[in-house]
Structure 1
Amino acid sequence: MRIIPLLVLILLYPLLSEAQKSHLNLIPKPDKVTYGEGSFQIAPNVALYSTETFAEASALLKEYPQLQTAPLEIVKKVNKKYQHGIRLFPAEQVDKIPANGFRLQIDASGILIKANEPQAMIHGLYTLIQMGMLQNNPLELPQLTIDDKPRFNYRGLHLDVSRHFMPLSFVKKYIDIMALYKFNHFHWHITDGAGWRLEIKQYPELTQKAAWRNYSNWKAWMNNGRQYVEQGTPNASGGFYTQAEARELVAYAAQKGITVIPEIEMPGHSEEVLAVYPQLACSGAPYTQGEFCVGNEETFTFLKNVLDEVLAIFPSEYIHIGGDEAEKKHWKTCPKCQALREQKGLKDEDELQSYAIQQMDEYLQSKGRKLIGWDEILEGGLTKGATVMSWRGEEGGIKAASMGHDVIMTPGSYLYFDSYQTDPRTQPEAIGGYLTLDKVYAYNPVPKELDADKAKHIRGAQANVWTEYMPTYQHVEYMTFPRALALAEVNWTSQETRNWLDFKERLQQHYKLLQQLDVNYYRPSYNVVSEIIFNKERLSNTLMLTAEQLVPNIYYTTDGTEPSHRSTPFTNPIEFTTTTLIKAASFIDSARVSPVEEIKLDIHKAIGKKVFYNNSWDGYPAEKELTLTNGVVGGLSYHDGQWQGFTKNFDAYIDFERREEIKSVAMRFMQIPGPGVFFPGEFQVFLSDNGKNYREVGTLKNLEDGKDPSLKFKTFEIKLEKPQMARYIKIVASNVQKGFLFTDEIVVY
């Protein structure tokens, strides 16, 4: 968030709050709303009319609990007789309603929804239902006309039930919330190495054993042998969905306008299958690999037999086959795989994977379906009808769209909801990453690199909810909502119409709605977040203090004392031209409701000086040579462009170009062991007058073992007993863990 927009929000909050009383707070934001005068009071047993086309959709009005209608009357021909009550009627040519759009009109005569197709009518009904849920009196609605349509035809939300099995009742609840916010595709990740979750009658061991393991918690299972156990053993933990239950969910979702897309992982992420059917592995032994042997014809027999049963349950156009993260190393030494490669004239293992994907694609197409997979399916070539989910950034999606393939955008940096959504130091353990609500909202699924002709292949976007660190459905809710509401608007509302401040204002009313639905959503934090803009010309820091609250009450001090409600209130950005320590916290009246945040603003001697690297950065250049002396500190994520990453020892020096008095040298490092980021083992500082002969002036040893999985920051500072004169400062920080060292600034006084 930038400073000016937040100031606008603060100044406009009284006006926004007043407007909220008379305007809608719908999410996603409608395309066009025209307000009338007054309101419409819904009477008990209000008449309900529908043509046959929309009769089934009319049942959704049961989700408007305060609304009691007369029995549905099927209208064969719309005429003047039906000019009151609630009416679900087809659009006429004169209405000029797009094929996928709807019109919701509320006036003195009642409620009229028009659409061309049942799917669009469902969207209109959920707009009405959501409107009722947001009203103080659900039976009194404002008179208005809403004309609306989606930006994208694919609006997806994913759920991984392999790592942690989720009860069917929760999956239905998940569908309920998706429908309310106009998602229309549910990507059900039902097989993976942690467990097979769908009954396959021809292969009963998939659910008798591969669905059960000896630890309920995925991380404990991963760290303790990764074994599967027979259903019914005392320590068996897991579960699966019967085919009847899967059909029940498919029908349940379809009533709400949602298509269920199953994912059956292949050729990788299949450890659970190969544990019970080891003849499908290259080694022929269980617990040796996660990839099917693609040189074994029995592999394709198995996969086609499984897909036959899957196709009989799921009528979706798409069937997801995964296709990601296959190691392929076993194929290199497997006689069967190498024989197939030579027989088919395939040059490498990428083309071997491509061959396997194409076999399944052709099989699905022969059944009238389409294959969809993660962007690795591009490796080695792709059949014409396949659709790509771009998760490793947008590059795969850009490449696929340029080749004429349809694309669903799911980039990890914007749409992986297993990432931390706020300061990781305050949150339950997650897989890593840092994805805030406003960053989700800022995403545009159409990359600027694509021209209009290629951009048409971007069918929409999807968020992925991987559950390695979500052992319960309550935790899934916590990680998914309200971020999913931001994606709902990204997918539905036109790019030009979307506005973060407007969305954030409307979102305040949806917290109440999520409470009504008993959703364990992530509550906005009172914790103070700082944003510092360094001005290199003025050598000054401009400080902005915010919190996730709509309009937080933040008080701060600059004299080292703890802030209270009597301290200085933060209202506008503050510029500091000297080194300053700020302490800030949020308050409700006189009560402090957040920890005290300490922000050190350094105006130090090394700012603007050039850094020379004996060991260069690796993979994370940030601002290259300008990074470590630009006066800008890093944030909570090493992806923010201010953290520089090193896989070797950090070894660099600064040339002041003349002798300077040195009192202290410090650097801040990050540690988050999950993705392999650690503090240095030792931090050493050397001084020199000629850049050749250095003298050591201090060493600090890190005593932490790196086993604590939480995010930490540590400043390593060498304070000289007496100031020394030197032209050069060299710093060496040892990478004893052989992971990444991340640092953001060299601070010299």
Structure 2
Amino acid sequence: MRSITKILQLGFCWLMLGTPALADSSVDLIPKPRSLVWQNGQFEVNAQTRLTYNSAQAEEVARLFSTWLQPTTGYLLPLGEGQSTNTIAFVQTPGDAKDESYQLSVTQKQITLTANSRAGLFYAMQTLRQLMPAELESQQPINRAAWVVPAVQIKDAPRFAYRGMHLDVSRHFFDIAFVKRYIDWLALHKLNRFQWHLTDDQGWRIEIKAFPKLTQVGASRHHTVVGHTYDYQPLFDDKPVSGFYTQAQVRELVAYAAARHVEVIPEIDIPGHSTAIVAAYPELSCHGQPVEVTGQFGIFEQVLCPTEKSFDFLRQVYQEVAELFPASRIHIGGDEVLKEQWLASEQVARLMQEQGLESPEQVQSYFIKRVADIVTDLGKTPVGWDEILEGGAAKQANIMSWRGEEGGIEAARLGHNVIMSPYQWLYFDAYQSRSLDEPKAIHGLTRLKQVYDYDPLPQSLTTQEQARILGAQGALWTEYVKTPRHAEYMVLPRLAALAEVLWSPIDARDWSSFSHRLPALLKRYQSMGLNPSLSAYYPQIRVENSAENELKVTLDTDIAGLPIHFTLDGEPVTINAPRYQAPLLIQTPTTVRASSWVDSQRSLLGNLQLSLAPHKGVGKSYKFKHAPAEGSEKRLLDGVLAVDQFYDVNDFTVLYGVDLDVTVDLQTSAALSKVVLGVDAGMHRQLHPPRRVKVYVSETGQQWQEVAHLNEAQIQGPVLTLTFPVRQGRFVRVFAENRQDSHDPQIPLLPLYIDELQIW
């Protein structure tokens, strides 16, 4: 395999005009083919090369290849039937028209692409594209005598039939030109399903002629929240957002995708996530009151009422949608349905009595089954998020498992076909590293390697049950993704990792191999003018308590062998900073910063920063009066501060609807003078701090002395410091009162997030 440096050297060779270009991709195909044999020699594509075909469908693929090749090379290659030397032959053979397998043969005299179907020929073309120099992707003229392709024999076929990617255009609207480019990315990576999330609380994005207010009213909002929707003091940008796709644009996009073997699956999300619908047609709610399209993000109470008026509305909507989208499936949503408005509705109460429904979950099941029947009557298969299993799912529905794998496992056992889309691995709106350079994301961390390591087939299922797993799908939700450049960064190259998960045989997948092939793919993205993330090269940090008042810090990278440079004084990392060799032992408050040196970029990458506090409470025992969220108690005394990190719930001790009241046993008596409490949720998202804080000290754990407190006026987040005259004590008790909703004093406004309880 070629080193990153070697690839750069070859890239320099490509710039020499008038000479055949050496292919940079001799081992760099993504996704990895099923069978690949390298041979001696190469084929030169020049102005005399002829494109041949033996069927109408083969001709279509040949013309797509010619269209891709022409802008950079300037070649207007002749097309025709028959075969000869210096040809690229597109050959369709008799067989299953749904077969996506192909063969690709490159010799010194000819390139031959062979498949039973147009799809197979198209995927063979995508492989040929990757065998050719990345500069061809620029679509800018380059004067060169010939372009070479290494000699190779490839036999290939996908592992999964359903290979999908999703795009949310409701939260932030993306024009049709961008959506076409998005389709192009899917096609390059041999993905064949595109789920178009067209409706949500923040905007309705598709023209429905029977209900013009859906776009006249529902496609616009007055403003959008600045920062995260749960910020302590949310602000709005006062910039209207609007946009929708006309039916003519939808047909244009569907045809564009079909030519690239991408089936477009529309999502019309009901009965929740319906604020835009209710804003346009309030009579479809249970309350009938006017509402506005929201500029916030999250989960909202607006829900369609399970009345005949709602079902008549949806019948007409889905009928128009079905006519626009020839896909075999329609996604009906069904996720995150808040049921308060149903519970308060007399109409719903009567429905429950008439239908024998005993819970709001059964109301949801009734609603979804009615909609599933509508979709089925239109000749389509309904798809829903895994919440539609609650109360019982329609038998004909496909289940898309997003809250983990559990919903997909349950659905497969119940006999449903399943598409895996667990957020822990396949939601690309999460951060890609802990670098401070990462653009704003929703929360959480989904590294490139996490995507690559995912397997859609749960081992707990039987072989028969595994057969119901159709494949998997990635997702890009766009609450915090406003621009095409940001979208490119979030999707690429995680899309490539997903592609290899879904296409390549499981026994052929290998992270080391993938990471060696990655630089050539990144070069191809950059030639396409795209903005891929380089986060896979960024360093990572692990911290553990190694001894009394001591933390052990380990630095590494997912891509092996990269040099890491670091500082321990909070200063930026340079190439002259120490190179990491062995774990670091930290005994005083320290800010660790680290970056990786990457030859292919000739620069340090990643701006990792983590503040550590090896205080007296690290690793000590503790007892809560009110239990925190399961597993989160371990974060209270780990010595790691999250205040300078992006928000990740896993960094915090989280208390839902209760106060923090914790007692720490230091095991021996110690001189104490300060307690520090992190109370906000780090960079990019700050939650409500507590209303007041008190600190107590005791030698016995029975008799307590209050030594410090902060009232509401004194609390200025995100770090609260409480100092006091030196006190001797073994036990420290900290009380932080949760802030309550100003409208309802009985309900805490938000969970209480505690970063690190430092005891000094």
Q: TM-score, normalised by structure 2?
A: 0.82
- Aligned partners of 2:409 and 2:112: how far apart in 1? 42
- Aligned partners of 1:183 and 1:243: how far apart in 2? 25
1:319-334 matches, within 5 Å, as 319-334=330-345
- Aligned partners of 1:656 and 1:331: how far apart in 2? 51
Q: Name which of 63, 72, 77 aligns with 2:68.
A: 63
Q: Is the 8 A contact 1:445 1:461 kept in 2?
A: yes
**Aligned residue type for 1:89:** V
Q: Deviation at 1:489?
A: 2.0
1:450-465 matches, within 5 Å, as 450-465=461-476
1:145 correspondence with 2:150: no
2:278 match: 274
1:735 correspondence with 2:738: yes
- Aligned partners of 2:366 and 2:439: how far apart in 1? 42
SS of the equivalent of 1:364 reads helix
1:157-306 matches, within 5 Å, as 157-215=165-223, 217=224, 237-287=241-291, 290-295=302-307, 297-306=308-317
How many residue pairs are counted as aligned between the two chains?
708
Q: Deviation at 1:235?
A: 9.1
SS of the equivalent of 1:343 reads helix
Q: Name which of 80, 96, 108 aligns with 1:73.
A: 80
Q: Name which of 654, 662, 673 aligns with 2:664.
A: 654
SS of the equivalent of 1:207 reads helix
Q: Deviation at 1:534?
A: 4.1
2:89 match: 87
Q: Is the 8 A contact 2:43 2:110 kept in 1?
A: yes
2:582 match: 573
- Aligned partners of 2:532 and 2:565: how far apart in 1? 28
Q: Name which of 694, 704, 707 aligns with 1:694.
A: 704
Residues 103, 354 of structure 1: alpha-carbon distance in 2 compared, 3 angstrom cutoff: same
- Aligned partners of 1:425 and 1:352: how far apart in 2? 45
1:103 correspondence with 2:90: no
Root-mean-square deviation over aligned CA pairs: 3.9
Residues 23, 70 of structure 1: alpha-carbon distance in 2 compared, 3 angstrom cutoff: closer
Q: Is the 8 A contact 1:562 1:596 kept in 2?
A: no
1:442 match: 453
2:425 match: 414
**Aligned residue type for 2:63:** A
Residues 191, 605 of structure 1: alpha-carbon distance in 2 compared, 3 angstrom cutoff: closer
**Aligned residue type for 1:124:** A
Q: Is the 8 A contact 1:671 1:679 kept in 2?
A: no
1:477 correspondence with 2:477: no
**Aligned residue type for 1:434:** L
- Aligned partners of 2:712 and 2:582: how far apart in 1? 37
After the TM superposition, which of the residue ranges 487-496 and 547-556 deviates more from structure 2?
547-556
- Aligned partners of 1:600 and 1:496: how far apart in 2? 41
SS of the equivalent of 1:655 reads strand
Q: Is the 8 A contact 2:163 2:499 kept in 1?
A: yes
- Aligned partners of 2:167 and 2:401: how far apart in 1? 17
2:19 match: none
Residues 593, 639 of structure 1: alpha-carbon distance in 2 compared, 3 angstrom cutoff: closer
**Aligned residue type for 2:88:** I
Residues 69, 575 of structure 1: alpha-carbon distance in 2 compared, 3 angstrom cutoff: same
After the TM superposition, which of the residue ranges 559-568 and 479-488 deviates more from structure 2?
559-568
1:213-612 matches, within 5 Å, as 213-215=221-223, 217=224, 237-287=241-291, 290-295=302-307, 297-423=308-434, 426-524=437-535, 529-535=540-546, 541-546=551-556, 554-557=564-567, 565-570=575-580, 572-576=581-585, 578-579=587-588, 581=590, 583-586=592-595, 597=609, 599-600=611-612, 602=614, 605-612=616-623
- Aligned partners of 1:272 and 1:454: how far apart in 2? 38
- Aligned partners of 1:702 and 1:424: how far apart in 2? 33
- Aligned partners of 2:191 and 2:94: how far apart in 1? 26
Q: Deviation at 1:592?
A: 7.9
- Aligned partners of 2:692 and 2:59: how far apart in 1? 72
Q: Deviation at 1:255?
A: 0.5
Residues 728, 283 of structure 1: alpha-carbon distance in 2 compared, 3 angstrom cutoff: closer
Q: Deviation at 1:633?
A: 6.7
SS of the equivalent of 2:395 reads coil
1:613 match: 624
Q: Is the 8 A contact 2:681 2:755 kept in 1?
A: no
- Gap runs ≥5 in structure 2: 11-22, 137-143, 231-237, 293-300, 741-747
After the TM superposition, which of the residue ranges 137-146 and 735-744 deviates more from structure 2?
735-744
Higher relative contact order (CA 8 A, sep 6+): 2
- Aligned partners of 1:346 and 1:560: how far apart in 2? 60
After the TM superposition, which of the residue ranges 401-410 and 489-498 deviates more from structure 2?
489-498
- Aligned partners of 2:450 and 2:730: how far apart in 1? 43
Q: Deviation at 1:530?
A: 2.5
- C-alpha deviations, 1:25-80, integer Å up to 9, x for none? 222222232111122212323222222142222222022345646433246xxxxx
- Aligned partners of 1:221 and 1:169: how far apart in 2? 28
- Aligned partners of 1:668 and 1:638: how far apart in 2? 13
Q: Is the 8 A contact 1:524 1:549 kept in 2?
A: no
Residues 550, 140 of structure 1: alpha-carbon distance in 2 compared, 3 angstrom cutoff: farther
Q: Is the 8 A contact 1:45 1:69 kept in 2?
A: no
After the TM superposition, which of the residue ranges 591-600 and 358-367 deviates more from structure 2?
591-600
